[in-house]
A and B are shown apart, each in its own frame.
Chain A
Amino acid sequence: MGMCWCKKKNEDLECYVSQITTHQDVNVVLPPPSPTPQLFYSRPSITKSPDPAVVDRLVLETLGVIETLVDNEQEPPTSMVQLHNIADNEDGWIQVVNSMIKVIPLTDPLGPSVITLLLDDCPLPSKDSIVKVVSLFSLSRQTALMGRNNPTHQRNTCVVLGSIAEKLAGPRNREILNDNVIDYLLTNLEPETNPNVILFSLLALEKFAQSSQNKVTILNKIKRKHPSPIVALEKWKHDIHYVKRQVGFCAQWILDNIFVIENRTYSYLSVKMDHINAMLNTSDVSEYLKISPDGLEARCDAYSFESVRCTAQADSGVWYYEVLIITPGVMQIGWATKNSNFLNHEGYGIGDDRYSLSYDGCRRLIWYNAKSDPQTLPRWQSGDILGCLLDLDNQQIIFSINGVSLPPSVHVFSMATSGFFAAASFMSFQQCRFNFGAEPFKYPPAVHFNTFNSHGNLNPEEKVVLPRHIFVNQLRQQNINEDSCTLCYDNKATVRLIPCEHSGFCASCASLLTECPMCRAPFQLVVEDNPVSS
């Protein structure tokens, strides 16, 4: 899907320039991107401190072209290569971080993604430089309060903190997260703060909590606050303000999965699922996607390209579902068969292979087989409704935004004509909500169609979106008998292989073997030593 360092030569930069020039901190005029990269990940020949204005410009330039990166195999844009080289020494890295915090606009839908992308691409500096950067921020409760009139700066700071926390999972993380930094992040959770800042403070806390000691420290601090700041934010999950709504989603997810507090009922136990017969499939999803307790809303906060399919399948006829766009960034939403792979770490998702087709309304592209086809509808906004119509009778897929249709797409039907699922991929910090028909549609198509909710069938167990730590705990508590087969641990070990005499296997595993697993010797005979007692 091309969120990686790849590019298509820039044709429509206008939408970005207009956003950049409205931002108060910025008075540079962007030059057009240079036609060829001069440096390609070579070591910089000069090591003196970089000019802040130049770095500011390169960061904005990267933000401007990132939208046009559509091919995973292409070279990174020049500005990104230059930033990579500047960040190769400590002062350079610190300047790149400071420039990102200063110039990335609050309103740009790809702003936070670009910060994580650049931090990911730049060489990881020494722990000392990272500690130095964080101490240069001089974060505290005081800076959080003072910073409320500059939400852009605070939001970007929190994105950087989260990204650093993610890179430094483990003990190194603890040194960054001192008391002042926790106070800063917790102060940001107060409802007077700009919701964008609250959102990325929550996410930074979540990422710091990946190291267990940090998690305990943060949790203890949270417990001392009454009422709990995160519990208050959870109430925002149905807010009509779309940033607040994201805060609510993340607060709920964090309370269910990370900072579990006493006397709070897990959301999966209280959510009403009676009318829901189709949802996002918790067994058919890449590892970092967050799914709401009702299985209909999803969000990605990792920098991988996370994907999911729904539970129900379409084999013939006409099918329709709608998606409420909550964040206006890069998502590829559409249809996929089970043959479509979720290569989240490689940046491939729905629409990036021959078995799926999707629409990305941020970059306004229809995706099939990792190739994109530009569309003319305006860029999608928070609150827009994406309609996804699959017509298997006429072999066409028609997307619509708020009822306005795009031209039909047909490519995918050369590979498959049945076995389709609703499916979507999410770039970092993107979120949307699916309606498979449990609620009335906003823009139902004028043809007769089926919905997954009316045809789907889930038993009560399948409707549970279990918090991950509970799921893992259930696994650990399962007992396993010591006399089990050493290959499957499902059955008792009863057989011995002849002539090598190795034992410890069950008959059903032995039937799958061609040679002894212990010595690789071919065996002629399987002897039952300890028949299963009847």
Chain B
Amino acid sequence: MAALPRRIIKETQRLMQEPVPGISAVPDDSNARYFHVIVTGPEDSPFEGGLFKLELFLPEDYPMSAPKVRFITKIYHPNIDRLGRICLDILKDKWSPALQIRTVLLSIQALLSAPNPDDPLANDVAELWKVNESEAIRNAKEWTRKYAMDN
């Protein structure tokens, strides 16, 4: 077994002992750098009531480089593309090693509350979000119901 950096052990322990409300992040049994994540859709957002699965991977040089995070559950959001890739500055050029798994996941949850169609990843979604926001929100709710809820 490859040795695991203490930083990852520490974060894992803290995620277990003091979980973040509305977010669950569990390390994979066999790969301690791979986390199974569930984020609940924020209240008063089109994603309310949904449970969104994500995967999070800590690369070799973490925390000097950002975790890789991706939505597994389909989601209708201007900053998240068809493959679940997320457009979020702290996952790219605004990464700081003082950020953690928990802060990253909180930022993603905040992104669900505040979609930003001016900095899009999913172009057609962002386009609709800009020209017809109410229809976009309807779509987002529909997708949430269809893909992120159990009934």
Residues of B within 8 A of A11 (CB): none
Within 8 A of B (CB), among A495-534: 509, 512-513, 515, 517-518, 520
A480–B63 CB distance below 8 A: no
Query: Given A287-B31, A509-B97, are A475 and B4 also a contact pair (CB < 8 Å)?
Result: yes
Residues of A within 8 A of B28 (CB): 287
Interface residues on A, range: 35 or more
Residues of B within 8 A of A509 (CB): 97
User: Which chain A residue shows the least CB distance to B148?
Assistant: A124
Report if B13 contacts A (CB, 8 A): yes
B6–A480 CB distance below 8 A: yes
Q: Mark B7-40, 1 if CB is under 8 A from A, else 0.
A: 1011011001000000000011111101000000
B6–A484 CB distance below 8 A: yes
Instruction: Give the docked Cα–Cα distance between A378 and B151 (Å).
Output: 47
A469–B12 CB distance below 8 A: no
Query: Given A287-B31, A480-B9, A488-B7, are A517 and B1 also a contact pair (CB < 8 Å)?
Result: no
Report if A285 contacts B (CB, 8 A): yes
Instruction: Give the docked Cα–Cα distance between A515 and B96 (Å).
Output: 9
Residues of B within 8 A of A345 (CB): 55, 72
A287–B7 CB distance below 8 A: no
Q: Mark A281-318, 1 if CB is under 8 A from B, else 0.
A: 01101111000000000000000000000000000000
User: Which chain B residue shows the least CB distance to A167?
Assistant: B150
Task: Give the residue of B2, B147, B150 whose beta carbon is less than 8 angstroms from that of A283.
Answer: B2
Q: Give B135 Cβ to nearest chain A Cβ, in Å.
A: 17
Query: Given A123-B146, A287-B31, A468-B30, are A489 and B1 also a contact pair (CB < 8 Å)?
Result: no
Q: Give B18 Cβ to nearest chain A Cβ, in Å.
A: 14
User: Which chain B residue shows the least CB distance to A281?
Assistant: B2
A480–B32 CB distance below 8 A: no
User: Which chain B residue shows the least CB distance to A481?
Assistant: B6
Chain A binding surface SS class: loop
Within 8 A of B (CB), among A327-364: 345
Query: Given A127-B150, A172-B150, A512-B64, are A487 and B6 also a contact pair (CB < 8 Å)?
Result: no
Instruction: Give the docked Cα–Cα distance between A490 and B10 (Å).
Output: 10
Instruction: Give the docked Cα–Cα distance between A225 and B18 (Å).
Output: 38
Instruction: Give the docked Cα–Cα distance between A38 and B59 (Å).
Output: 43
Report if B98 contacts A (CB, 8 A): yes
Within 8 A of B (CB), among A434-477: 464, 466, 468-469, 471-472, 475-476
Instruction: Give the docked Cα–Cα distance between A490 and B8 (Å).
Output: 11
Task: Give the residue of A168, A285, A484, A513 whose beta carbon is less than 8 angstroms from that of B30.
Answer: A285
A468–B29 CB distance below 8 A: yes
Instruction: Give the docked Cα–Cα distance between A488 and B98 (Å).
Output: 10
Report if A128 contacts B (CB, 8 A): yes
Q: Give B15 Cβ to nearest chain A Cβ, in Å.
A: 11
A487–B63 CB distance below 8 A: yes
User: Which chain B residue shows the least CB distance to A476?
Assistant: B13
B98–A518 CB distance below 8 A: yes
Q: Give B54 Cβ to nearest chain A Cβ, in Å.
A: 12
Task: Give the residue of B2, B6, B96 whose beta carbon is less than 8 angstroms from that of A478.
Answer: B6
Query: Given A283-B2, A287-B30, A486-B98, are A126 and B10 also a contact pair (CB < 8 Å)?
Result: no
Residues of A within 8 A of B32 (CB): 471-472, 475
Task: Give the residue of A488, A518, A520 whose beta carbon is less than 8 angstroms from that of B6.
Answer: A488
A282–B1 CB distance below 8 A: yes
User: Which chain A residue shows the least CB distance to B63?
Assistant: A487
Within 8 A of A (CB), among B86-100: 96-99
Residues of A within 8 A of B72 (CB): 345
User: Which chain A residue shows the least CB distance to B6?
Assistant: A489
B97–A287 CB distance below 8 A: no
User: Which chain B residue shows the least CB distance to A478?
Assistant: B9
A476–B10 CB distance below 8 A: no
Q: Give A323 Cβ to nearest chain B Cβ, in Å.
A: 22
User: Which chain B residue shows the least CB distance to A291?
Assistant: B30
Instruction: Give the docked Cα–Cα distance between A520 and B96 (Å).
Output: 8
B10–A489 CB distance below 8 A: yes
Q: Give A248 Cβ to nearest chain B Cβ, in Å.
A: 21
A–B complex contacts, Cβ < 8 Å, 29 sampled? A287-B29, A287-B31, A287-B34, A288-B30, A345-B55, A464-B1, A466-B1, A471-B29, A471-B32, A476-B9, A476-B12, A476-B13, A476-B16, A478-B6, A478-B9, A480-B6, A480-B13, A487-B63, A488-B6, A488-B7, A489-B5, A489-B6, A490-B6, A490-B7, A512-B64, A513-B97, A517-B97, A517-B99, A518-B98
| Across the A-B interface, the 9 shortest Cβ-Cβ residue pairs | A517-B98, A468-B29, A126-B151, A489-B6, A127-B150, A287-B31, A283-B2, A517-B96, A287-B28
The interface of chain A, by Cβ under 8 A from chain B, is 123-124, 126-128, 168, 172, 257, 282-283, 285-288, 345, 464, 466, 468-469, 471-472, 475-476, 478, 480, 484, 486-490, 509, 512-513, 515, 517-518, 520
The interface of chain B, by Cβ under 8 A from chain A, is 1-2, 4-7, 9-10, 12-13, 16, 27-32, 34, 55, 63-64, 72, 96-99, 146-147, 150-151
Given contacts A287-B31, A345-B72, A509-B97, 12 further A-B contacts (CB under 8 A): A172-B150, A285-B30, A287-B34, A288-B30, A345-B55, A468-B30, A480-B9, A487-B7, A487-B63, A489-B10, A512-B64, A518-B98
